[in-house]
Amino acid sequence: MTDPSKQHLDDLLNSGDLDGLLRLIDDTCDQAQWEVLESLAQRARTATERGHQLWPAADHAEHRLAKQGPAEFAARAVLRDQQRFGIASLAEVAASENFWTELDSHLPAGSVRALVAHECIARGQDLTGVDLPGDPLGLTLTLASWEPATEGPTIKAYDIDDPAPSFGAFETVALPGSGTASSDSATEALRDLVRTWTDHSNGTSKAVAVAGTAAEALAALDLDQVQLSWLTAAQAWRAMSWAAASGGAHGRRPGCARGRFDTWWCAAALTGLNEDEDPWPPEPEELGTALEELRWGTWKTAQQTAGWQLNLVIEDPSHGLAWALAAHDLRD
């Protein structure tokens, strides 16, 4: 006897009914028909051979498998990694819904397995002792004692909720005359935090380094007055990792694992722990101590518009250096 769900799938694929396929995806999830959903994902992907553009249904089916399916189905969706325009990487989606112990046995050695592992680590899971051959990130397999776990995002069936971190009160600060701006490995690392915004969306970024104070670094951005809020190192870390994980207005979201890597890289550059002879990653407690010796702040102007923003200022009092970043992305 023919399974009515499979027969319905055949009819929708043969007719190229995208709306019908999206409705069927909801129904199969409600009824936990994971085999049907997996078949839909794979067959809709190849429908171009029959002249039908059904990849949006394939993308969405893979997303729902990674989010709602049992671990073995979620892992297979991640391994296929065939999404064109998913709202979040499937590695991140699967890690947001499963513990590593559930996914581990379904992921063969390689970079995809390592990426899923790092997504779990970013969410606070301790994977000390796990073997990750082919690891492209090389970060610690547990969060450092000082390192905050990611606070998001909330990945839903059809969208993602990923608000920017909130900060305390701002005070208006008049800035001195502009000093001489320069660039270094830290300015490049600061801009790398928002590279997805600038390369794949509408974003812009500018970073400067100065021999001087935080105020002089802000002035080197051609500002004469800002509203400034001083941050703890942990607050600054959350802001950097949020931005680095975000796709901004139109970019594909890199995910929390990549966001954590870019934040470690930037922190190492700011603290001078990224020289050629230095090991990667830096020793966690050494990096944590160095971060606490810096002064961190976020800033805005009276003309600041809505959108995605990462505006930072960092001062290194012991070496007389400071850096400032202005990064912004808009939907239109």
pLDDT in tens, 173-195: 999 987 789 999 999 999 999 99
Task: Say whether 131 sits in a helix, a strand or coil.
Answer: coil
- Report the alpha-carbon distance of residue 43 to residue 98 in Å, rounded: 26
The per-residue pLDDT for 29 is 97
Q: For the chain, give every domain's residue range.
A: 4-143, 163-329
Pairing of strands 295-300, 308-316: antiparallel
Number of neighbours of residue 141 by Cβ within 10 angstroms: 17
Contacts of residue 119, defined as CB under 8 A and 6 or more positions apart, other chains included, come to: 91, 92, 94, 95, 96, 255, 256, 257
pLDDT at 314 over 50: yes
Query: What pLDDT, on a 0 to 100 scale, did the predictor assign at position 151?
Result: 79
Phi (first) and psi of residue 20, to 5 degrees:
-65, -40
> What's the pLDDT score for residue 2?
47
SS3 per-residue string spanning 226-244:
EEEEEECHHHHHHHHHHHH
Determine the pLDDT at residue 125. Answer: 97
Query: What pLDDT score was predicted for residue 1?
Result: 33
Mean pLDDT of all residues in the chain?
94
Burial 300-317 (b: 16+ CB within 10 A, else e): eeeeeeebbbbbbbbbbe
Which residues 6+ apart lie within 8 Å of 46 measured at CB?
none
Percent of the chain with pLDDT over 70: 98
- Confidence band for 282, pLDDT divided at 50, 70 and 90: very high
